[in-house]
Chain A
């Protein structure tokens, strides 16, 4: 459901960096813990991009797995289910190592080619 808002934020970020140039692709990194559905995001992105310089741009989504780190024993592991306790020492002093990303990493824009004399 929040894919609409997230796509708006992505398009706004891309437009701000495009400097008026046409955007042909937008690269994003999405952490699994952000609960963004890739197909939904692609759908809304196309819709929101219309009437901006991102119209027709490709959305490249890099999905980042959720990994946790135990601050007590140093164990690092990936999770599929939202279990935020250390499987090695049972500590709850656990931090998210990866999986909370929601970043625009780059955009691809069209530029007029320089004249070759």
Chain B
């Protein structure tokens, strides 16, 4: 036996990128705009969706709920009377901590894509791994809450750089936590200068209009594009 070196030079996540492109093609065919919603556990992804998705006008929206286990989040969205599909990642090694393109692909058959304009994929709560895996989405949005602390952009630059929009949630807690919004925004602009951001509280409803309009705008742009 002898040893031979085989030159490869391939992105380790090539396989994921290929499947993400296949998802993208399916979304385009169905005319669906896809948002990958990411955050740390407990930042308020589901709460924001609960408050916003029922008021998107004529935009037909569906949700793909990613969780390690259970359907607690999906159950919360049932009252909105929109298609919600639960995707659990615990089939793998102790439960994957993120959704990848293949997991999303496996759930596409359960979603009525042809009847949707907008699909929200609520990723597993985690500030590192979801940022690595594209799923074929149009936009990546992250929810960051004031209860998490103002240093988070500096600690998780991968996530804060990966998203096109940052929702700063739970601002009703500002009087009770040591969180200086100006410091936070400075950190955010250090890591991802100028990234679009919205300040809100899913609990009080403050600032949610902006995100609602943003979602409607995103879906409308895609619909105009299809009709053009």
A interface residue numbers (CB < 8 A to B):
1-2, 4-6, 9-10, 12-14, 17-18, 24, 28, 33-35, 81-85, 92, 94, 102-113
**A84-B132 CB under 8 A given contacts A33-B158, A102-B12, A109-B6:** no
Q: How many residues of B contact A (CB 8 A)?
A: 38
**Nearest CB to that of A29 among chain B residues?**
B9
Q: Quick check: A84 and B154 within 8 Å, CB to CB?
A: no
B129 in contact (CB, < 8 A): yes
Chain B residues with Cβ below 8 Å from A108 are: 3-6
**A110-B12 CB under 8 A given contacts A1-B97, A5-B96, A6-B132:** no
Known: A6-B13, A106-B8. 14 other contacts (CB 8 A): A1-B128, A2-B97, A2-B98, A5-B98, A6-B12, A9-B12, A9-B13, A12-B15, A13-B12, A34-B158, A35-B128, A82-B153, A104-B8, A104-B9
Tell me, rounded to whole Å, the shortest Cβ–Cβ distance linking B196 to chain A.
14
Q: Quick check: A109 and B191 within 8 Å, CB to CB?
A: no
B81 in contact (CB, < 8 A): no
User: Bound complex: CA of A68 vs CA of B126, how far in Å?
Assistant: 27
Tell me, rounded to whole Å, the shortest Cβ–Cβ distance linking A101 to chain B.
8
**A5-B128 CB under 8 A given contacts A85-B190, A105-B9:** no
User: Bound complex: CA of A112 vs CA of B189, how far in Å?
Assistant: 56
Q: Quick check: A107 and B193 within 8 Å, CB to CB?
A: no
User: Bound complex: CA of A107 vs CA of B15, how far in Å?
Assistant: 18
Residue from B10, B16, B98, B100 within 8 A of A103 (CB atoms): B10
Residue from B3, B13, B15, B16 within 8 A of A24 (CB atoms): B3
Chain B residues with Cβ below 8 Å from A28 are: 12
Q: Quick check: B2 and A5 within 8 Å, CB to CB?
A: no
Chain A residues with Cβ below 8 Å from B98 are: 2, 5
Chain A residues with Cβ below 8 Å from B224 are: none
B157 in contact (CB, < 8 A): yes
**A84-B191 CB under 8 A given contacts A5-B98, A106-B7:** yes
Chain B residues with Cβ below 8 Å from A102 are: 11-13
**Nearest CB to that of A91 among chain B residues?**
B193
29 contacts between A and B (CB under 8 A): A2-B98, A2-B129, A5-B100, A5-B129, A5-B133, A9-B13, A13-B14, A34-B132, A35-B128, A35-B157, A82-B157, A83-B190, A84-B192, A85-B190, A85-B193, A102-B11, A103-B9, A103-B11, A104-B10, A104-B12, A105-B9, A106-B8, A106-B9, A110-B2, A110-B3, A111-B1, A111-B2, A113-B1, A113-B2
